[in-house]
A and B are shown apart, each in its own frame.
Chain A
């Protein structure tokens, strides 16, 4: 039991950091850039994706022995589309303001390659428990990326975070950041930062290996 506990935890952490869907795998770019002009929209989109990913991973993993191999992709897409329709209607009924902000990008969660990718690569070959751990990790990683990007763009573009003013009246908003070009450039710079971290880590590892080698 303890071992499977650790394994599940491992799958979770993998999604959040080591194989972060946005910064490392570069998946799910369209919804990522389109809705992140504020942190709150990022949270809403992240939660919607979270629900869809958990639901479809659970169902796919449950039905993995019933779905014929040849038509599996179509089956996955229909399962995902069902959950997305549920989210769409629930948001419309409970949070109409958010639903209006996100607009057509809620139905477009279907086309998020992150979700289909997890079904094909993970949920359809693992137990329900592992599939849920993996979905939880990937969704958390996606949420983290959305909120980080949305937060940066909102702070620079409006001087606010979650709608709370940060800098007072003297701040001149950097409007371009909440417009489309700002999305591209901010994400580009964030990826650059992650590349830099990776590079640095590699150098450090090489250094450690070299010093260990000389000690022997």
Chain B
């Protein structure tokens, strides 16, 4: 169990997908304007990541041992279609949940964080449970990063920033500072 806990904490904080691996930057920079929206995007991402980990594990164990060169193509196609199917199912079964997550689901599927998760989990040779915990950690890490960023950006709205700096350049510099803060977590386990 200690192993699973370690995977979760390390992907959540130390190897945060956004701030240490630069994955999922497009939604991180694009959708982090409002706190509430970014929180919902984060939840949808956790959901898609867990499904991705499951799909990747099934593909790796049963199919791709016969044809490893199809890995990339099959990951993309399978993940996109499974998410689409689940989206339809949610729409039918729980309209409230669909309203909360719905619009984000198709957007997230081709996000590099999702594909990156599948590839990293494969490269690390994770089993089913390890993969699922890894996905959960990565999703929570993404949510944490995007919510923090949205909070910072809402604060910045109130203050007087020179027009030239406003926009993407400013967001990148803020992310840099946030990323520096997260680097502090790197010492979390090495001492023990």
Contacts and interface: CB of A to CB of B under 8 A. Distances in A.
Given A82-B73, A192-B164, A104 B173 contact: no
21 contacts: A29-B29, A30-B25, A77-B76, A81-B73, A85-B73, A89-B69, A107-B71, A110-B115, A111-B110, A176-B180, A181-B176, A182-B176, A183-B176, A184-B172, A184-B175, A185-B176, A188-B170, A188-B173, A188-B175, A191-B168, A195-B165
A110 B71 CA distance: 12
Contacts of B19: 180
A12 B173 CA distance: 31
B46 interface: no
A33 interface: yes
A34 B22 contact: yes
Contacts of A196: 164
Interface string B66-79: 00010111001100
A30 B179 CA distance: 15
Chain B interface, DSSP helix/strand/loop, else mixed: helix
Contacts of B169: 188-189, 191-192, 195
Given A78-B77, A111-B111, A30 B24 contact: yes
B72 A34 contact: no
Given A30-B26, A181-B183, A199-B164, A104 B116 contact: yes
Contact of B172 (A103, A107, A111, A185): A185
A88 interface: yes
Chain A interface, DSSP helix/strand/loop, else mixed: helix
A183 B72 contact: no
Contacts of B170: 188
> Which 9 residue pairs across A and B have the least CB separation, nearest first?
A184-B176, A188-B172, A111-B112, A185-B176, A188-B173, A191-B169, A181-B180, A34-B22, A181-B179
B119 interface: yes
Interface string B83-121: 000000000000000000000000000111001100110
A192 B183 CA distance: 25
- The winner among A33, A82, A112, A176 for most chain B CB atoms within 10 A is A33
Interface residues of A, number: 39
Given A78-B77, A188-B171, A189-B169, 17 more contacts: A30-B23, A34-B23, A78-B73, A81-B76, A85-B69, A107-B119, A108-B116, A110-B76, A111-B116, A180-B22, A184-B179, A185-B172, A185-B177, A188-B173, A188-B176, A192-B165, A196-B164
B156 interface: no
Interface of B: 19-26, 29, 69, 71-73, 76-77, 80, 110-112, 115-116, 119-120, 123, 164-165, 167-173, 175-177, 179-180, 183
Given A77-B110, A181-B179, A181-B180, A111 B69 contact: no
Contacts of A112: 112
Contacts of B119: 104, 107-108
Nearest to A35: B22
Contacts of B173: 184-185, 188-189
Contacts of A185: 172-173, 176-177
